[in-house]
Amino acid sequence: MSAIKGIVLLSGPTSGLGLELLRLLGQQDVALVVVGRKLERIGDVLAAISAPVHRIEFDLAEAQCPEKTEQLEKALFEVLGKIGLDRLVFASNAGIVEPIGQVGDVPVSGFNAPLAINLLAPVAMTNACMRYVKSVNGRLFVLNVSSGAATRPLPGWAAYCSSKAAARMYFDVLGCEAPAIVRIQHFDPGVLDTPMQAKIRAASEQQFPLVQQFSALKNEGRLKPPLEVARQMELRIMEWLQQ
């Protein structure tokens, strides 16, 4: 392996797009930091890749608890410090679409998990990233896996749309605060053939009036393969690291 070009922090590496991106980046000259729950599920993938990998076991749904986010920030900052490189990529990939349901039918408590995973966990990880790059006079590239739901309302997706929109704006604010050391890029992967899409298709029309449209995409073979989209993300990451 050639000289390590930088650090790539990847959230949500255990399935779908995140898993395919992990496989690809595992063959690149980068130091990987993966954050997720039950990482033993991908132990065979982690063992097979050539890049150095640092694991942080964390249930991102627990980011709704301040004590847990402090633990995540501390653990991540320590891992980044041990690696010690000055170029850092945060591929903010983890996300959930649930709960799916009409406004008024979803209790306030139903918003806890999507806000934690889609917004608060990325905030905690970004805090650690910013502390780190400032400490080493480094630079940060955030590749935020966004969604059309972050910019337009969809019936039944109040929790998903609002949490993804909030994350997008959060990163935009970061970009305008620190343009000299931070680059922000939002990446909309489109509709992929992933476990998330299976959950969407399982919703009733009462919960999600557009469910038949999403089912048609699957039946007609119009869902994108996650590997194809992961290659696009890999290209953006490596181009930035090689600048």
User: Which sequence positions are flagged as catalytic?
Assistant: 160
Largest CA distance in the chain: 55
Cα–Cα distance measured from residue 226 to residue 190, given in angstroms and rounded to the nearest whole number:
10
Q: In 48-152, where do the E strands start and end?
A: 53-57, 87-92, 139-145
203: left (phi over 0), alpha (psi -120 to 50) or beta: beta
Instruction: Please report which helix (H) or strand (E) contains residue 183, including its range.
Output: strand 182-187
Cα–Cα distance measured from residue 108 to residue 192, given in angstroms and rounded to the nearest whole number:
29
Tokens 């004590």 belong to: 67
Cα–Cα distance measured from residue 214 to residue 155, given in angstroms and rounded to the nearest whole number:
13
